[in-house]
């Protein structure tokens, strides 16, 4: 890493010189400049389906009587008011909300 002697900004390599982006000062690259990045393969978990990975709670659905629902929070009103909790039945898919 090289810094400009005039303005102290970081200099970037351009062809065979280091060039300052701020003031335009150029300095020859005396040594070979090599930049390498090592990338490792990684495993990515894919969740399929709309509700995969969502938390569940015991909440009774008024339509089908099921007692398990997915839930999530959303800030719908101003920041000084509480969040709204949404529920979606795991059986029939009905969505409803609860205010605090």
Q: Per the annotation, where are the binding residues for Zn(2+)?
A: 4, 7, 20, 23, 61, 64, 89, 92
CB 25 within 8 A of CB 39: no
Active site residues per annotation = 80-81
Half-sphere CA count of 58, side-chain side, radius 13 A: 0
Pairing of strands 56-58, 26-28: unpaired
Binding annotation: 4, 7, 20, 23, 61, 64, 89, 92
């Amino acid at each position: 890493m090289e810094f400009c002697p005039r303005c102290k900004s970081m200099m970037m390599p351009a062809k065979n010189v280091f060039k300052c982006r701020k003031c335009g000062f150029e300095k020859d690259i005396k040594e070979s400049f090599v930049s390498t990045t090592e990338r490792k393969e990684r495993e990515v978990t894919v969740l399929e389906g709309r509700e995969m990975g969502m938390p569940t709670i015991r909440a009774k659905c008024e339509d089908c009587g099921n007692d398990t629902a997915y839930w999530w929070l959303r800030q719908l009103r101003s920041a000084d008011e509480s969040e709204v909790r949404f529920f979606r039945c795991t059986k029939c898919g009905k969505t409803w909300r609860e205010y605090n």
